[in-house]
Structure formats: structure tokens, C-alpha cells
Amino acid sequence: MTPMTPMPRRAFLQSLSATAAAAALPLSSAVWAAGKLKPGADSALIVVDVQNCFVTGGTLPVAKGEEVVPVINRLAAAFANIVVTQDWHTPGHASFASSHAGKKPFETTTLKYGQQVLWPDHCVQGTEDAALHKDLKLPTAQLIIRKGYNKGVDSYSAFEEADRKTVTGLAGYLKARGIKTVYVSGLATDFCVGWTAIDARKAGFAVYVIEDACRAIDLNGSLAAAWKQMEAKGVKRIQSADIEMA
């Protein structure tokens, strides 16, 4: 082929889309290998709230919550860095319906920082209900970050409490470790996973949510709303099969 020969149209389009795909990705942290994402040394897997309270038999069970455990255990092999979170409430926490006279779980109320969904008592510090699921196997996990431990403030996000002022320190930790990209998994897609993903974007990370490594509560359309908000903030929705296993 002489240099002047026009590139066949199909090859040209393929090269364009390859360039576009590369531009949309943080190249330093992820490489498409055989069409798959390969998390690098500057990526971390965040495993959100895979605790007894959120699975069958727990105090705030997420439908099929336990199904994320084998998916996350498999994913762990692809990550050099893993952070685990635990919802970790005081007894009598402000997010519990039982703390508000006349209120029932899944109703809402207004707290100092705004609207709060009221939950059954769950994930009380030090209880078996708040323990990580026994089948979770993450031998390389480096940090467990607990949240929701201020009695008057909830914290769905692993980065920032519901007052939108108090930080947990996770962004600083990840930045100090040179992490640029986070992959979010766990429970529940429409609450703690969603807020964690959105706040990770706010803190400047590239963010993937691994849909089949999450399960949702889906309260009054909260799941669809969460995906809409996440996508509006540039969170990318992927499946565990999109990740290259080590």
C-alpha cells in the first residue's frame, strides 16, 4: 500500500473508535487486554458493606445480597489494592426509625442535614450483625473503613457523611497510596455503593461500578435513580466479566 492509498473505511472507523475508547479511559491504570479491563497498581477495589446485616437473616436484608460474595471473592484476584467498608452505627443511631417517636422503618424524616430514610436498627457496632460476611475472602485487603459511627449523622458514602461536610479520610488515604481509579462493589447499589461511587468521582477518581458484584434495596425507584445520578457524574457501569482476571 502506498502512503497515499486511502485507508479502507472500516479500518478507519475502527482506528477512530479505538482512539475514542482509549481517550475515555485512564490509561495509566487500566489497559484493555483482549477487550477487558486490567486494573493496575493505581487501581483499588472498594468492597462496600458486605456485612451480615445486609444479607438474608440480617436486620436490613438486601434481596440476594449474599450473591455478591462469590463474585467479589473472584474479582479480588485482579486487584493489588482492596479497601473494605463497614456500616458501623451507634445504638440509637439517628438513621434508625426506632430513634424517632411514631416513625416506622422505610419512612423518611428531616434531620439537621436534610432528608433521611429511616431504617430498621442495623449494623450496630461490635455486634455479629455488623460483622463482615463469613465467606468473604479478601486476603489482600489493606484497609477496613468504618462509617456511620457519628450518632446524629448517617453515612452511605465511604468518603463523606450525610452532612456533606464530615469526611472519613478515605480520599486522602487513596491519594496518598497513589490510587487513581476505583472499582466499587457490594451492598447496596442504590445507597452505599451509589453514594460511594458518586463521592469517589467528586474526589477526582475514575470510577467503575461492577453491577453484578452489587445488589440493591430498590426503595420507591431508588435503583434507577441511583444509576441515573451515577452516570450523570461519569461513573462507568461494568460487569465482572469486563475485568481481566490475573
Q: Which residues are catalytic?
A: 49, 147, 192
Residue 221 DSSP label: T
Strands, E, within 112-179: which ranges? 114-117, 141-147
Distance, in Å, from the CA atom of 232 to the CA atom of 79, rounded to the nearest integer, reads: 26
Helical pair 194-202 and 222-232, crossing angle rounded to 10 deg? 10
How many CB atoms lie under 10 A from the CB of residue 143? 16
Residue 195 binds which entry of ligand VGL, Zn ion, none, CB below 5-8 Å type-dependent: none
Each residue 79-118 as x (binds Zn ion by CB under 5 A) or -, in order, gives: --------x-------------------------------
Is the Cβ of residue 156 or residue 183 nearer to ligand VGL in the bound state?
A: 156
Three-state secondary structure call for residue 230: helix
Among 50, 188, 206, 235, binds ligand VGL (CB under 6 A): 188
Is the Cβ of residue 174 or residue 188 nearer to ligand VGL in the bound state?
A: 188
Footprint (CB under 6 A) of ligand VGL, residues 7-36: none
Q: Does 191 bind ligand VGL (CB under 6 A)?
A: yes
Is the Cβ of residue 79 or residue 156 nearer to ligand VGL in the bound state?
A: 156
Among 84, 153, 187, 206, binds ligand VGL (CB under 6 A): 187
Residue 205 binds which entry of ligand VGL, Zn ion, none, CB below 5-8 Å type-dependent: none
Quickly list H helices, 136-221. Answer: 170-176, 194-202
Distance, in Å, from the CA atom of 17 to the CA atom of 15, rounded to the nearest integer, reads: 6
Distance, in Å, from the CA atom of 130 to the CA atom of 162, rounded to the nearest integer, reads: 20
Is the Cβ of residue 42 or residue 87 nearer to Zn ion in the bound state?
A: 87
Strands, E, within the chain: which ranges? 30-33, 36-39, 43-48, 82-87, 108-111, 114-117, 141-147, 181-187, 206-215, 236-238
Residue 191 binds which entry of Zn ion, ligand VGL, none, CB below 5-8 Å type-dependent: ligand VGL
Distance, in Å, from the CA atom of 151 to the CA atom of 124, rounded to the nearest integer, reads: 11
Q: Does 119 bind ligand VGL (CB under 6 A)?
A: yes
Is the Cβ of residue 37 or residue 198 nearer to ligand VGL in the bound state?
A: 198
Residues in contact with ligand VGL by the rule CB under 6 A: 49, 54, 87, 119, 156, 187-188, 191-192
Residues in contact with Zn ion by the rule CB under 5 A: 87
